[in-house]
Structure 1
Amino acid sequence: MSIKNIDLSLVVMAAGNSSRFCSSNPTCNHIKKQWLRTQTLPLWQKVANDFSKLYDFKKIIITASKEDFEYMKKISDFEIVLGGNSRQESLKNAIKKVQTEFILTTDVARWNMDKDVWDRMLESFDDSIDCIVPYLNVSDTAMYEGQYINRESLKLIQTPQLSRLSKLKSSLDVQEFTDESSAINYHNGKIIYVKGSPKLTKLTYYEDIHFLNQLPPVSNEIFSGTGFDIHGFEKNKPMFLGGVKIESDFGFAAHSDGDVALHALCDAMLGAIGGGDIGEWFPDNDPTFKNADSKILLKQIYDFILSIGFELINADITILAQTPKISPYKSQIRECIAKILYTDKAKINIKATTTENLGFIGRKEGVSAIANVNLKLTNWKERI
């Protein structure tokens, strides 16, 4: 088999929740490391693109968390697979989609692929191997459980790792392993070790973010979205607008609390990121969201937006109502929305108008709202 003609698929591991990455730095802004951007590209997309230029893979698969799964499917041309609660579980899910004889796995945390390492892996390939893995030597004196050990015998294992699919599958079913080579080694597979690279240093903690300084800067583009919602009235139901309880004898006929202002804002947020609409996120036929508090729904959407590397510039909401009177509540609504979106009220604008007694709203049968938002990409370089 030619080293340039391996029956090979790629799996990019990107389903982690970045708990270690954000836990030690309050300026993290909730962003997951796989969603740190170079220009507009998130790291997981950059990694997949870089590898696609190195080799003609039969298939490129990217694992995603359950929170990111549907969104990544919307915006990516690669195959997205739902990850699990551990790296190994995510890998097992991805393997189900692989039909090639060999599989290359890499972690998005090792975002800076070194072509020289890849060339060494290809040059080391032969039909008898079960795994090829890059490593680094240890240069410092090493101690384990109170005893000094021979550093010459130590290897720091890196990814990507090239594995025989059949051997990897059978090796993952016994216990939890931290990488492919340890699983295959446990099952007496043939492993070839090749010299790795400092370029493959893993992005684990927030203080590691300086490794990304060599990347092109984050784009300063503005991402805009609009949203609209309308609901008729329902007697003997509380009314909420913009997250604020309104004094009224009726509320909104809706599956949730029917807060048209927050629903329009949710849709505007989702529109700015290409994330679908509120009905996809919170279906009105799902009993989970019966009488749901729309403040909670908006917070869930905005927390997701932060986690994938966007943040709010400003929001502008227009409420169209003949009744009730909105003006007395505008300041409260601004403060409520600003709190949900972790910002100050200067970035939130609330406008209210009537329809001059015209139409559905003018007949005092319901209320509607229009929202416009502007988002920007989180500039992580400003947070170092």
Structure 2
Amino acid sequence: MTPHQIAAVVVAAGRGIRVGGGTPKQYRRVGGQAVLTRTLAALAAHPGIGRIQAVIAADAAAFYRDCLGDLDPAARAKLAAPVEGGATRQASVRAGLEALARDGAPDLVLVHDAARPFVDAPLIDRALAAAGAHGAAVPGVPVSDTIKVVEADGRVRGTPPRESLRAVQTPQAFRFPALHAAHRAAAAEGLDAFTDDGALAEWAGLAVAVFPGDLRNRKITQAADLAEADRAFAPGASQDAAMTLLTRLGTGFDVHAFTEGDHVWLGGVRIPADRGVLAHSDGDVVLHALTDAILGALADGDIGVHFPPSDPRWRGASSDRFLADAVRRVAERGGVIDHLDITVLAEAPRIGPHREAIRARIAAVAGVPLSAVSIKATTTEALGFVGRAEGLAAQAAATVRLPAEAGA
């Protein structure tokens, strides 16, 4: 997808009164530049984003012009003229979408809060990949505190399981026509209280996926957040140790013998073959090796620990379920998958004709950009069980970043 097909709406029309002072938080300076300047610069620096539509308050034109003074010309070239926001966040997002539609609707749109200046390229990559795969997607990070559902009288109604909860961030990513239509439908029904585009999309009947967010992508809400951001953006500053991500490399290997059949599964793709493989699940050596590689990076056992072959639930199971579970475990730890690399060892079938389909399937399941998935194939020069065409194997490596406190 070319950059002109991807746009971003930056919601900057709020008053930001909780940080104190007479200037809205998005125009306060952190490390010498306005919060909004840093947010716009981060989005504009991404090569996939071709157009940025800022939405500002009616009386904020002077503030906005000051922000542009610190942007380089290449970043300013991506900015459309700002439009005036509404009384609610939902109304402001809709104003931005309508402006994009008037100037030529993009295929994908990111909706991002002006007060999240820590957004970076890997998070944007994941957002775009998730939007392309699912149509509607929001970044989420695991919830570390126990959450209570409380009645109006202060009594606890319930305690949802923490492992199923996510704190949702921005940028949220959508296919533009679907989000635009959802906003128009909500406005037509007089609904204007949605504070989250993912929730509005759910109301409109869209299936919304959650992809791994970033603990560092925090929102400036209180005065303390502003002070912390000022320290973080100060020249020579380093990230708080709690936000430092440590890189880990995990490896995995899997092998299956051939048996009677007419196909094999590799990387979630069904490939015609003159034989099948002997396995408890679908025998996808690529996804099995990849799952073990991710679990290895997490130091969280192996595929047999979480999906034992003795359990009848996994008989004939699609192996993308195993990979999805490993990816979920990374997200629960606040981690990020940077790269997945696989090598298939087989005399047959040939991988080349199916390479891109396999990459696309793995990228979709793992919630990573296509560029983060590599798959190669080799033979063993007629040596060993692979060379004798008795079976096939795969080895994989996964590069994962984990928060220092989780990676320690």
How does the TM-score come out when normalised to structure 1?
0.50
Q: Is the 8 A contact 1:114 1:199 kept in 2?
A: no
Residues 7-47 of structure 1, C-alpha deviation per residue, up to 9 Å, x if partnerless?
1111111111112222xxxxxx3222111224553111211
1:92 match:
94
Find the partner of 2:112 among 102, 106, 110. 106
User: Which 5+ residue runs of structure 2 have no aligned equivalent?
Assistant: 69-75, 151-155, 236-408
How far apart, CA to CA, are the structure 1 residues paired with 2:39 and 2:111?
11
Q: Structure 2 CA distance, aligned partners of 1:65 and 1:126? A: 31
Native 8 Å contact 1:135 1:155 kept in 2: yes
Displacement of 1:184:
0.6
Match of 1:153 in 2: 164
Amino acid at match of 2:114: V
Per the alignment, residue 187 of structure 1 pairs with 204
What per-residue deviation string (whole Å, max 9, x for no partner) do you get for residues 176-197 of structure 1? 2111111111112132211111
Against the structure 1 CA distance between its residues 121 and 74, is the aligned structure 2 distance closer, same or farther, given a 3 Å change threshold? Answer: closer
**CA drift at 1:49:** 1.1
When Rg is computed on C-alpha atoms for both structures, the one with the higher figure is: 1
Matched ranges for 1:287-326 at <5 A: none
Mapped to 2, the partners of 1:148 and 1:56 lie a distance apart of 41
Counterpart for residue 44 of structure 1: 36
| Greater CA drift, 142-151 or 111-120 | 111-120
Given candidates 9, 12, 37, the residue that maps to 2:10 is 12
Q: Report how far residue 123 of structure 1 moved.
A: 3.6
Aligned CA distance change for structure 1 residues 32 and 151 (closer, same or farther; 3 Å): same
Offset of 1:171 from its aligned partner? 1.7
Residue 115 (str. 1) matches residue 132 (str. 2): no
Corresponding residue for residue 66 of structure 1:
58
Cα–Cα, structure 1 residues 130 and 97, in superposed 2: closer, same or farther, change >3 Å? same
One-letter amino acid of the structure 1 residue matched with residue 167 of structure 2? L
Cα pair 2:109 2:176 within 8 Å, conserved: yes
Matched, 1:143 2:143: no
Counterpart CA distance in 2 for 1:159 and 1:113 is: 8
- How far apart are 1:71 and its partner, in Å? 5.2
From the superposition, tell whether residues 42 and 74 of structure 1 become closer, same or farther in structure 2 (CA, over 3 Å): closer
Secondary structure at the counterpart of residue 216 of structure 2: helix
**Greater Cα offset, 105-114 or 53-62:** 53-62
User: CA, structure 1 residues 6+73, in 2 after alignment: closer, same or farther (shift >3 Å)?
Assistant: closer
| Secondary structure class of the residue paired with 1:126 | helix
Specify the alignment match of 1:57 in structure 2: 49
Letter of the aligned partner of 1:113 in structure 2? V
**2:26 alignment partner AA:** Q
Deviation at 1:6, TM superposition (A): 7.5
Distance 1:5 1:46, change over 3 A: closer
Per-residue Cα deviation, 1:206-250 (whole angstroms, up to 9, x for no partner): 122233111126xxxxxxxxxxxxxxxxxxxxxxxxxxxxxxxxx
Deviation at 1:5, TM superposition (A): 5.5
How high is the sequence identity, in percent, across the aligned residues? Answer: 23
Alpha-carbon contact 1:73-1:80 (below 8 Å) kept: no
Per-residue CA shift, 1:333-377, capped at 9, x if unaligned?
xxxxxxxxxxxxxxxxxxxxxxxxxxxxxxxxxxxxxxxxxxxxx
- For 1:134 and 1:71, locate their aligned partners in 2 and report how far apart those are by CA, in whole Å: 29
Instruction: Give the RMSD, CA atoms, in angstroms.
Output: 2.2
Match of 2:232 among 188, 204, 214: 214
Cα distance in 1 for residues equivalent to 2:60 and 2:174: 27
The answer to whether 1:196 aligns with 2:213 is: yes
AA aligned to 2:19 is F
Give how far 1:163 is off. 1.2
